[in-house]
Structure 1
Amino acid sequence: MKLLALDTCLDACSAALRTDAAVVAAITEPMRRGHQERLAPMVAELMDGAGWRFGDLDRIAVTVGPGSFTGLRVGLAFAKGLALALDKPCVGVGVLEALARGAGTKGFVAACLDAKRGQVYLQIFIDGRAAMAPDVLPVEIAAARLAELWPGGPAKLVGSGAPLLAPVLAETETLTPAAADPVAIAEIAAAAREPFPPPRPLYLRPPDAKLPGGIDPP
């Protein structure tokens, strides 16, 4: 199997290539804007460097959020368009799951993104398995959820919201990468089994932007 993994949800533009056996190549470029302009050239450079043709791909993976409303749509549109053109499956991967995977699959790992307005996006994993669905919570409720699910012992908090929750647990390691590791995204997608549901944006709360007349964007 040859797989292309993409991420534009957070403060980076990333891509990775993976076979059944291992990751072949990966690249991450920090950026808050400009994903739309950079993604296609980045993918072309990565494919050329690996000597792969687009027709060689068997699967395409893309992060679905939570994250920047604009950024995640860039990745989704590119991945879904490429999958349609190649007639290949497209796999959606949650950003929180990818962040947690990048921090390891042993013990207690909480992926946490600062959602602003006193809220965080949170998902907790124990030995690589989700202990809760991704959610958006006020910081104090997220802290209570952490304390409730924590079995004791070492813990890892990963993501931009990790410092907000670090005081809750003892023995806490705090990691604040700008984005999920594309290698982790590729690993998750490679392990996924069909049938794959169509990837859709994971919006855990309504967008801040409004169309004229106060209407939410679609």
Structure 2
Amino acid sequence: MSEGFPNDRPGVMIVLAVDTCLFACSAAVVEDGVTRASRIEPMSRGHQERLAPLVAEVMAQAGIAFDSLDRVGVTVGPGSFTGLRVGLAFAKGLSAALDIPAVGVGSLEALARPHQGRVIAALDAKRGQVYLQGFADGVAVSAPDVLALETAAARVAELAPDVLVGTGAALLAEVRPSAKVIGIDHTDPAAVAAVAAARPPSPPRPLYLRAPDAKLPGGRDPS
């Protein structure tokens, strides 16, 4: 699989990024850090039906052919079990068809990417839990984790963030009153592209921090 620049301009990196993990279906085309086209459509279901047409529209808007892409970035979770599988399947299929790398990006990392300073990305995991990860100037200072609210509050107090971002931000805001709270429920696909462009290619895998609620016959977890 090519890890270089298959487009006709050596040294130029063109990334298609997709996200279906959270409450939107989104895609962006980013060329050397410049967003050529981006679309974010809020939704809690229906990602599978919408993703391919959305990507086609974004590629057309960007004026870039699929065979000019250098890699595909895709969010791998935490988030909706069904949603993240939609994005992963699409990215892997496109990667194989175009013979370009697919790169996995954590949804918490993508949420934190646009913000500077000390940032905690937190997603409401329900059942009294949050998915949480801390960053300092874009560098992870903790691993992604699923924590009880009390434990998450202690983590916030320890890391003393300047920014709390994500659907779980409001749940932790009182611990750090000085922090800016951004209760966004989706990532910016351009941020996904930025992380994917900078990361060494490796096969994307889903990031499951908690066992799925759904069970197959016999009590087995879906895989």
TM interval, short-chain normalised: over 0.9
Correspondence 1:80 to 2:92 = yes
Correspondence 1:34 to 2:41 = no
> TM-score, normalised on structure 2?
0.92
| 8 Å contact from structure 2 (residues 109, 121) kept in 1 | yes
Give 3-state SS (helix, strand or coil) of 2:113's partner: helix
How far has the Cα of 1:21 moved from its partner?
4.2
Q: Could you say if the C-alpha distance between residues 21 and 137 of structure 1 is closer, same or farther in structure 2, counting changes exceeding 3 Å?
A: closer
Give 3-state SS (helix, strand or coil) of 2:87's partner: helix
1:115 to 97, 122, 125: 125
Q: Deviations over 1:153-173 (max 9, x none)?
A: x61110000111001013121
In structure 2, the residue matched to 1:184 is 191
Number of matched pairs: 211
How far has the Cα of 1:51 moved from its partner?
1.7
In structure 2, the residue matched to 1:158 is 165
Correspondence 1:124 to 2:134 = yes
State the identity as a percent: 65
Q: Deviations over 1:27-85 (max 9, x none)?
A: 10000000000000000111112221111111110000000000000000000000001
Q: Runs in 1 of length 4+ with deviation above 2 angstroms?
A: none
How far has the Cα of 1:147 moved from its partner?
1.1
For residues 131 and 146 of structure 1, what CA distance do their matches in structure 2 show? 12
CA RMSD in angstroms, aligned pairs only: 1.0
Q: Could you say if the C-alpha distance between residues 182 and 21 of structure 1 is closer, same or farther in structure 2, counting changes exceeding 3 Å?
A: closer
For 1:149, the aligned partner's letter is: L
For 2:219, the aligned partner's letter is: G
Q: Could you say if the C-alpha distance between residues 21 and 184 of structure 1 is closer, same or farther in structure 2, counting changes exceeding 3 Å?
A: closer
For residues 117 and 178 of structure 1, what CA distance do their matches in structure 2 show? 18
In structure 2, the residue matched to 1:50 is 62
Give 3-state SS (helix, strand or coil) of 2:15's partner: strand
For residues 80 and 19 of structure 2, what CA distance do their matches in structure 1 show? 11
Give 3-state SS (helix, strand or coil) of 2:167's partner: coil
For residues 158 and 41 of structure 2, what CA distance do their matches in structure 1 show? 36
How far has the Cα of 1:176 moved from its partner?
1.1
In structure 1, the residue matched to 2:73 is 61
| 8 Å contact from structure 2 (residues 101, 202) kept in 1 | no
Correspondence 1:214 to 2:219 = yes
For residues 23 and 177 of structure 2, what CA distance do their matches in structure 1 show? 29
> TM-score, normalised on structure 1?
0.94
In structure 2, the residue matched to 1:141 is 151
